[in-house]
A and B are shown apart, each in its own frame.
Chain A
Amino acid sequence: MIEVEQLVKQYNSLTAVNGISFEVGRGEIFGFLGPNGAGKTTTIKIITTLLNPTSGRASVAGYDVQKEPGKVRSVIGYVAQDVSVDDKGTGRENLMLQGRLHHIDGKSLRKRIDELLELVDLTADANRLAETYSGGMRKRLDLVTGLVHRPEVLFLDEPTLGLDPQTRAKVWTYLRELNQKEGITLFLTTHYMEEADELCHRVAIIDHGEIKALDHPDVLKDEIGGDCINVGLSEELFFEESALVERAFQVIQGQPYVKRVETLADSFAVYVDKGDEIIPHIVELLRQIGIPVKTLTLSRPSLQDVFLKHTGTTIRDSEASSAEQFREFHSRVLRRRPR
């Protein structure tokens, strides 16, 4: 559906995109994961005909973005990073104009608009000016203005940037529905790990204008190497029976299936390949030594770890607000639930 070959975009001395190549299949949800300034928006603007590349080529549905931009535009929808709706138009008027610019005739356009308003729960507010909408409503309207002409591919640049968690979850639901019910191919950029993880069939890790890794999120995480079993013990035990704890550490480390053990404040972090199969063994070992297990959690590596491995940094801290970092952290912790 989308083919990109050796794409390069230079702004004077700055190389925003540095030789990117990838393909996206029909019906796929494909994600670009990377920090701000990694070249995500530039790439999306080239594929959506808003920018010319310095070199390389890109095509959508078989149409070259530079040779047949008109054909490309008729099969794509684009939802920019910042919400851009016409504030002085009603929700319905916004959608009507978008449909008109795609040269859709009045009758089928009106029907389509009713469908889309229904999809994002804006039917009741369709005839109010967009300037009276809440942030979430504006975002939803913006989302469906890219869908009026039933595009084959929808491009979304940071679709949930700055949204509250409820609205974000809703947007994810709409996107999944669009993908499943209308068979629309989705291409999205994000710097949220969980978004890439939740939504995307395949993820490209992009940094400094280059693709560092590209695969299914689970495959990327498996490459990191296995699971982490967190064995929580009581604090008193750690303080009062340090010899016993030390012995348990040695025993666990001595097992052939254990790759690495770390001692944390009041727990062990045991790195193994197939955590779910190993857990009973660990519990049995500790029981034999005479150490009661207080908590037990199994976690898989997150995309954060994947990102770290391929780029040597976390998504640059300075760019995520502390609230975002907190959410990011929070969601990682929550996902470490026992199986």
Chain B
Amino acid sequence: MNAILDTWYLFIRNLRNSVRLPIIWVMSLIQPLIWLLLFGQLFKNIANVPGFPTESYLAFLAPGIMVMTALFGATFSGMGTLVDMDLGYLDKMLVTPVNRNAIILGRMGGDVLRVVIQTIIIVLIALAMGVGFATGFAGFITAVALVALMVIGFAGLSNILALRIREHQGFMMVVNFITLPVMFMSSALMPRELLPNWLQTVAHYNPVTYAADGIRSLMTTGFDSILLVQAFLVLGGVALVMMTTATLLFRRRLI
């Protein structure tokens, strides 16, 4: 019971602090918006290529940008852990009888909710730009669930990196090194069929592909049960593994 309450209090603290730092919200929304507008224009004519799955590139891109927002936001999560470590705030929590798992779960929980909300805002903007949502509200909720699983997975990865690197600059470099390739080597910006062979193989093992394909089918075609089951299994599996590893690593690093 205490574990749940502890997680709740730390979750609230994280969320409250992020609300009081509006720059995080502004920047993490402006960046994907710029990409949405820029890429939407830049690759507009790709939609004319025979075999391109959607009518306009924007319709294809919107789910990709959602996934990108989720990816960039989630991989930032470890930063908060590092800040708490550096400022001694982690020690301050650790000398209380607080449940140890609650510290890392509260941190990730707040970050996950924040990023999911940001992603929803991006969808709403895309809708306002004329992008449709083929499966309606039920599909929207399903898409949000996929995004949440993906964010949990990558927030877990980010915390694992933070706990292993334990230093800001190194952490940021590794995160930057990882996020862009992870995004480009997926179906977020380009249909899998149009990728070179070797990239198709990489994309096949990239969880971002499953999030992008799942959400894209929900937005453009309809409920594709095979695709969705695959997406939920892959993203759920990654989320479970990353979160467990991050929690275990956190406990092991404590003393």
Contact = CB atoms under 8 A, between A and B. Distances in A.
Interface of A: 48-52, 70, 73-74, 76-78, 80-82, 84-86, 88-89, 93, 97-98, 100-103, 129, 145, 149
A101 B16 contact: no
B125 interface: no
26 contacts: A50-B91, A50-B95, A70-B97, A78-B91, A80-B88, A80-B91, A80-B92, A84-B89, A84-B91, A86-B17, A86-B89, A88-B21, A89-B13, A89-B16, A89-B17, A93-B13, A98-B92, A98-B96, A100-B9, A101-B6, A101-B96, A101-B98, A102-B96, A103-B97, A129-B20, A149-B96
10 nearest CB pairs, A to B: A84-B88, A88-B17, A101-B96, A101-B98, A78-B95, A100-B9, A73-B97, A88-B20, A80-B88, A84-B89
B145 interface: no
B93 interface: yes
Interface of B: 2, 5-6, 9-10, 13, 16-17, 20-21, 87-89, 91-98, 255
A76 B95 CA distance: 8
Contacts of A84: 87-89, 91-92
A165 B16 CA distance: 35
Interface of A is mostly: loop
Contact of A86 (B5, B13, B91): B13
B99 to A, nearest CB: 9
A89 B91 CA distance: 17
A101 B9 contact: yes
Contacts of B2: 103
- Which of B20, B88, B93, B96 is the most central at the interface, judged by chain A CB atoms within 10 Å of its CB? B96
Given A100-B6, A101-B97, 13 more contacts: A49-B94, A50-B95, A51-B255, A76-B95, A77-B95, A80-B92, A86-B13, A89-B13, A98-B96, A100-B5, A100-B9, A101-B98, A145-B92
B215 to A, nearest CB: 32
A97 B9 contact: yes
Nearest to B103: A101
A73 B6 CA distance: 15
Given A88-B17, A88-B21, A101-B9, A78 B92 contact: yes
Contacts of A77: 95
A48 B95 contact: yes
Contacts of A85: 89
Nearest to B93: A101
B96 A82 contact: no
Nearest to A103: B2
Contact of B88 (A82, A89, A103): A82
A85 B13 CA distance: 13
Contacts of B94: 49-50
A21 B93 CA distance: 28
A86 B87 CA distance: 9
Contacts of A93: 13, 16
Contacts of B88: 80-82, 84
A244 B91 CA distance: 66
Contacts of A76: 95
Contacts of B89: 84-86
A50 B255 contact: yes
Contacts of A100: 5-6, 9
A78 B17 CA distance: 23
A52 B253 CA distance: 12
B85 to A, nearest CB: 10
A76 B16 CA distance: 28
Given A50-B255, A86-B89, A74 B13 contact: no
Nearest to A82: B88
A49 B91 CA distance: 10
Nearest to A129: B20
Given A84-B87, A88-B17, A89-B16, A73 B255 contact: no
Nearest to A75: B97
Nearest to A96: B9
B87 A82 contact: yes
Contacts of B91: 50, 78, 80, 84
A145 B87 CA distance: 15
A92 B24 CA distance: 24
A166 B92 CA distance: 26
